Chain A
Amino acid sequence: MADLSVNVAGIHSPNPFWLASAPPTNSGYQVMRAFEAGWGGAVWKTLGDPIVNVSSRFAGLNWKGSQMVGISNLELITDRPLADNLREIREVKRAFPDRALIVSLMVDPVREQWHEIVKQVQDVGVDGLELNFGCPHGMAERGMGSAVGQVPEYVQQNTEWVMEVAQVPVLVKLTPNVTDIRYTARAAVKGGANAVSMINTINSLIGVDINTWSPTPSVDIMGAHGGYSGPAVKPIALHMVSECARDPHVNVPISGIGGVSTWQDAVEYLLLGATSVQVCTAVMNHGFRIVEDMIDGLNNYLEARGIAAVTDLIGKSVPRVTDWGRLNLNYQVAARIDQEVCIQCNKCYIACEETAHQCIDQVPQANGKTMLVVDEEECVGCNLCAMVCPVEGCITMTDVSTGVASMSWQQRQAQTWTDVSL
């Protein structure tokens, strides 16, 4: 068995799989069940002044028979009394001392309020705190959540207030509803945060019932924007994680959040610089049991590659993330179609012919079928044909570079500049 344990700024966890602060971590009963299923850590649903929720609360985005590729959520922070939560947190930590138990917090941006709640929560013996500066709905209208998280100065200020009294590691959870997440991440670090977690949910209006004309989820007949999560947001989150991972000013561990459903998703997050991952939508869809395959699959992946510890994955792809201007303009791939496995659906043909570069030909065969042939001279190597192909391994993008030395746009601009100045 590979070593799956991780250490996020002093928070130790037997595996990198944490439950995100969300409906699944609302109570001690739920978190106990999650830990029994094998979750390495959990971020308790945000504590603060208990709120009143609406009904209904969630709506799912289904796509071609796949349920919940994304969900939009109107639920706010905890609606349960602080004392009840604290009692249950203590019980869970006692029952599972080896797991990472982190508590999410959100109060008014007032120094005394932060001091008070931080002291109360760390008194029950938690492993860490996560500051919720990300909730995009409801709480933001009250000046909390993303209302704080969208302004770097507020993030720094609120974090500083927490750090004045915090005795356990503090993560700052960032909102993606900003132009460039590095600014708020840097502010969190400046404020003293020990780690950052990202992303919180994205502003969304997931749909409208075309029979009733009410937005979904509907409350009475009305709707409001919610927080979007699930597999559909993963690319956005991966980008933000990688941006922070390669930013020298965000030099703290990252807990990655957004659409993690499988061990493969986790591997991607770790490779792009996350130390742990947090999961919500996938367990809302399938239950806590999915962590068994996450652990098993991750372990088998590491063992198959002779990697002793999961921490050896962290950040390994970060050096390969760069700016567009540094990509090699002289690199060239072309599509190759394996005629043995091609099923002649012609999807690659129409995609290329109408929406790309007209370089796949339909060649009639003696048997009445059509063979799809790539004109490699014309192929720009965009990948689209391989993307629409339903048969795995049928279309391969093959390196056809001519051996010309690597040249990026930046290098070319520099050369042009030199030529001009001469």
Chain B
Amino acid sequence: MNADAPVGDEIDSLHRMVYRPISQFEALQEANRCLYCYDAPCTKACPTHIDVPAFIRKITTKNLQGSARVIMEANPVGASCARVCPTEQLCEGACVLQKNAVPIRIGDLQRYVTDFARDRDLTLFSPGPSSGKRVAILGGGPAGLSAARELARFGHTVTIYEQKPHLGGLDTYGIVPFRLPVDISLWEVEQVRKLGVEMVTGVRVGQDVDFNHIVNSFDAVVLAVGMGTVPKLNIPGEELEGVWDALALIEQVKSGLFKGSLGEHVVVIGAGNTAIDAATSACRLGVPEVEIYYRRTQREMTAYPSEFNFAKQEGVGFHWLSLPKQILGQGGRVTGIEFLKARFAEDNNGRPVPVPILGSEFVVPTDGVIRAIGQSRVTEFLQSSGIKTEHGVISVNSNGQTSHPKVFAAGDCIFAKGHSEAMVVEAAQQGKIAAASIHRFLSEKNG
């Protein structure tokens, strides 16, 4: 059977997994195929440096608990990453078998092992002896959880402030359930909670609690606030019913709150992974025709190749070099969207930018428009703190330290274009780095 074949008709389409789990039989065969490289390229390619050969060898010796420990030790959100990492660009892309054979299915094996740990709800870690130091973490997404897990293991008392009812960030709210079911993310949250980490939910920093007050009341602070909503397209018609923020839509779909219908035809603006998630969600919600319009081309899109292929398999159509001009409506509802065709020109720095071709307008009749053109920055609350930001991105040094010595940052809120990838696994690693730096900072302060 093809491992990529969707299976499980008994589950509703929103929860039918993109990839089925690997069986024990397959897992053992695959694990035994691993060469157990030394200084392994897969481990180097993983942003959190999971000791991949070690966790795979433990599958062959049926030490699955030990295997789970190896994975989760390096990556506190390793169960989520097993499902959402672009493994073909990371560990599997680096596998030495890539050259002469087929790379080891590392992602599937990682999922097999973390499923084992989840099914048995294994407790893999314990908190360190108390240091008496208190650390606040703003934001309970992958970066915040990762930092919290590490800080708790160092023995620090950790409080996470989260604006949503649950922790997990995009893993819980922003990645479609057929790629990442919510249970996975919430299990990772529980793993952190079990270490004694306090989790305060429904609290928005800057509104419900003053940032400077937090900085003054804790020994150190981690900013892991992620990013915000999808920005407006800034074209006429965005107020119409039927225009969606992709993340808001995915959140509703994932939490089961979405009721009703998106209509017969939906247009998604943007070609990143969230655009793919929104488009494929629409497909699985029963929309017969879903089309992605992007102002650049396939070459520039930020969606992973595997995601692009998945979307095409789900029936999503792609249109390149299309600039939205206005959303059309009738009676307050979307009826269509007007685009301009684009061509590439050079900007002042010689980089290609899409520019509209005059007179190339065309209208696409549609029932819905989903915008998925990235996320806005949410750093206004830092304005009075004096913490340096650049274009809304929090500035940090290589230790994750901001311009304020006791404030550190990790995750999407420090993600600046062209520096690293805004991946869950990157956020996890940055959380670890921030935690290690804070531990050093607090230990030095002590000594």
Which A residues contact B (CB, under 8 angstroms)?
A: 262-264, 286-287, 289-290, 292-293, 296-297, 300-301, 304, 390-392
Contact = CB atoms under 8 A, between A and B. Distances in A.
Given A286-B36, A391-B25, A293 B62 contact: no
B28 interface: yes
Contacts of B57: 290, 293
B38 A296 contact: no
Contacts of A297: 58, 61-63, 66
Given A286-B36, A287-B38, A293 B24 contact: no
B58 A293 contact: yes
Does more than half of chain A's interface fall in helix, strand or loop, or is it mixed? helix
Does more than half of chain B's interface fall in helix, strand or loop, or is it mixed? helix
B54 interface: yes
Nearest to A265: B61
Interface of B: 24-25, 28, 36, 38, 54, 57-58, 60-63, 65-66, 69
A300 B61 contact: no
Q: Which 9 A-B pairs have the closest CB atoms?
A: A297-B63, A296-B66, A262-B61, A300-B65, A297-B61, A293-B58, A286-B36, A300-B66, A293-B57
Contact of B63 (A289, A296, A391): A296
Contacts of A290: 57
Contacts of A263: 61, 63
A390 B25 CA distance: 9
A264 B66 CA distance: 14
Nearest to A262: B61
Nearest to B69: A296
5 contacts: A263-B63, A286-B36, A289-B54, A293-B61, A297-B62
Given A293-B66, A300-B66, A264 B61 contact: yes
Contacts of A289: 38, 54
A300 B38 contact: no
A297 B69 CA distance: 12
A292 B54 contact: yes
Contact of A293 (B25, B38, B54): B54
Nearest to A290: B57
Contacts of A262: 60-61
A301 B60 CA distance: 15
Nearest to A343: B25
A396 to B, nearest CB: 16
Nearest to A299: B66
A15 to B, nearest CB: 15
A156 B287 CA distance: 87
A304 B62 CA distance: 13
B117 to A, nearest CB: 12
Contacts of B58: 293, 296-297
Given A289-B54, A293-B54, 8 more contacts: A264-B61, A287-B38, A289-B38, A293-B57, A296-B69, A297-B58, A391-B25, A392-B24
Contacts of A390: 25
B62 A264 contact: yes
Nearest to A294: B61
B426 to A, nearest CB: 27
Contacts of A293: 54, 57-58, 61, 63, 66
B58 to A, nearest CB: 5
Contacts of A292: 54
Contacts of B25: 390-392
Residue from B24, B36, B61, B66 with most neighbouring chain A CB atoms (10 Å): B61
Contacts of B36: 286
A287 B37 CA distance: 10
A263 B69 CA distance: 17
Residue from A287, A297, A391 with most neighbouring chain B CB atoms (10 Å): A297
